[in-house]
Chain A
Amino acid sequence: MATSGVKLLGAKQSPFVTRVMMALEMKSIDYELVVMNPHLKPELLSKTNPVHKKIPVLIHGERAICESLIIVQYIDDAWTNGPSILPPHPYDRATARFWAAFVDDKLVPLLGQLREAEGEEAKELVIKKLSEAFMRLEEAFINCSKGKAFFGGDSVGYLDIALGSFVGLIRVVEMMNETKLLDETKTSRLAGWAERLYSDSLVKDVLMDPQLLLVQLQKFLATMPKAASE
């Protein structure tokens, strides 16, 4: 399968874009990152992702693929050389998909709610829900990893990508709210996993340093429209 003509529309500070970069790195695929800020409504984005107009978009030859986890699965299906991203057994695949959906449907909206919460009480409520979500993910890690380094076992896999892409943002949220979500006392396995992820040779180059991410995100968020997203 030709690896020429692979472009990724996005921005490094987006965890969703990071997911795709992690997958591309794992498969050693050469690609060009075309920096795109969706809030500025660029034409190329409307053309390649007319339904959602969001990043990331993967352009492979003539084809455009959208939605981060769908792109990751596409990369796994289209490039069969290199490590597999999804686990081999259907049951483990279902487990990985379930928890990846949990990240998107439960965790991510809570991060958004925390940013928009006004007042200490409102923030505390969201932080409590986030802590509960992390406890679930800690259990998921114990079940999926089966004593190994990553959700995917010995090496990074689908769920490591789905959640790992958000570690930088989670650290930023911790700094901004002076709280701990992924920490050694409450979620010790996940804390260890996060550190290993940031040292892993396959993906570490695309995981942003939280301090840098904080600065970049503040710039990025400044371009967002004031109205809440759906």
Chain B
Amino acid sequence: MEVRLHGMWASPYVIRVIWALKLKGVKYEYIEEDLSNKSMAVLEYNPIHKKVPVLVHNGKPIVESAVILQYIEETWPDRTPLLPEDPYERAMARFWIDFGQQKSLTFFAFFLTSEEDKHKTAAQVLETLKILEEEALGDKKFFGGNTINMVDLFFGWLTYSFGCMENISGVQVLLPETLPRLHRWTLDFKQEPVIKENLPDSTALLEHFKRVTKHLKSSNKFKPA
């Protein structure tokens, strides 16, 4: 059984796949991609989106991180379940992952915010995170309850990448004062052994995001909402 993952070290989409594979104890080969010069493999396996992550299992590619996570869960169901058994709880887990996907423009707007708009975009992010904290996390230790599940993996980027966004835009949003339960969750999540051992270097990450922001702002590729 051959498993390969094409990824990029700083990508929040890739890391959730790495965490899932590690939690399931799945052995895999990792291929680091240069996003400015993607390999033929990525272009061939993901012709529609041309992006990482790409998981290749026995020669067959699976793309889109949410799709990959469900694939991993269904292919290796006996180890570390990442979704609840109950159909309704399962639907709620999928709902919150979908919510995260629907809100990606809100996060991007904050990430690439101009000086004038930083408080406005930060407020929109805060509103989104408040919903997540109140409705999805509640008083639980993790989104998955006492143990982490797919929803925790999906929002895991908040525990380390989001800090870079706050640093670059100059506004802090995820604080014990503003989001006490979510903030506590970020600390608990990073303490989990598999997560702790698989986080990118924070200094390198900040430098990377600074470069990316500068490039995206100057090329006008993403217009904040």
Contact = CB atoms under 8 A, between A and B. Distances in A.
B is a partner of A? yes
Interface of A: 50-51, 60, 63, 65-67, 70-71, 73-74, 77-78, 90-91, 93-94, 97-98, 101-102, 136, 230
B90 interface: yes
Contacts of B60: 91
Contact of B90 (A51, A74, A230): A74
Interface in B64-122: 64, 66-68, 70-71, 74-75, 87-88, 90-91, 94-95, 98-99, 105
Contact of B64 (A66, A93, A101): A101
A51 B135 contact: yes
A98 B57 CA distance: 16
Given A73-B94, A102-B48, A97 B88 contact: no
B90 A91 contact: no
A101 B179 CA distance: 31
A112 to B, nearest CB: 15
Given A74-B90, A93-B71, A230 B105 contact: yes
A45 to B, nearest CB: 16
23 contacts: A50-B135, A51-B99, A51-B131, A51-B135, A65-B95, A67-B94, A67-B98, A70-B94, A71-B91, A73-B94, A74-B87, A74-B90, A78-B88, A91-B60, A91-B71, A93-B71, A93-B74, A94-B67, A94-B71, A97-B66, A98-B62, A101-B66, A101-B67
B91 A77 contact: yes
Interface string B195-225: 0000000000000000000000000000001
B71 A66 contact: no
Nearest to B77: A90
Given A51-B135, A70-B95, A78 B70 contact: no
- The DSSP consensus for interface residues of chain A is helix
B48 to A, nearest CB: 7
Contacts of B74: 90, 93
Given A51-B135, A60-B88, 11 more contacts: A50-B135, A51-B99, A66-B95, A74-B87, A91-B57, A91-B60, A94-B67, A94-B70, A97-B66, A97-B70, A230-B225
Contacts of B135: 50-51
B90 A98 contact: no
A73 B71 CA distance: 14
> By CB atoms of chain A within 10 A, which of B48, B91, B135 has the most?
B91
> By CB atoms of chain A within 10 A, which of B57, B60, B64, B68 has the most?
B64
Closest 3 CB pairs of A and B: A77-B87, A90-B74, A74-B91
A8 to B, nearest CB: 15
Contacts of B17: none
> By CB atoms of chain A within 10 A, which of B62, B71, B75, B87 has the most?
B87
Given A97-B67, A97-B70, A73 B75 contact: no
Contacts of A230: 105, 225
Given A91-B62, A93-B71, A77 B131 contact: no
A97 B71 CA distance: 10
A98 B63 contact: yes
A136 to B, nearest CB: 7
Nearest to A91: B60
Contacts of A67: 94-95, 98
A50 B98 CA distance: 15
A73 B68 CA distance: 16
B64 A65 contact: no
Contacts of A90: 71, 74-75
A200 B105 CA distance: 39
A150 B105 CA distance: 34
A98 B91 contact: no
B62 A73 contact: no
Contacts of A101: 64, 66-67
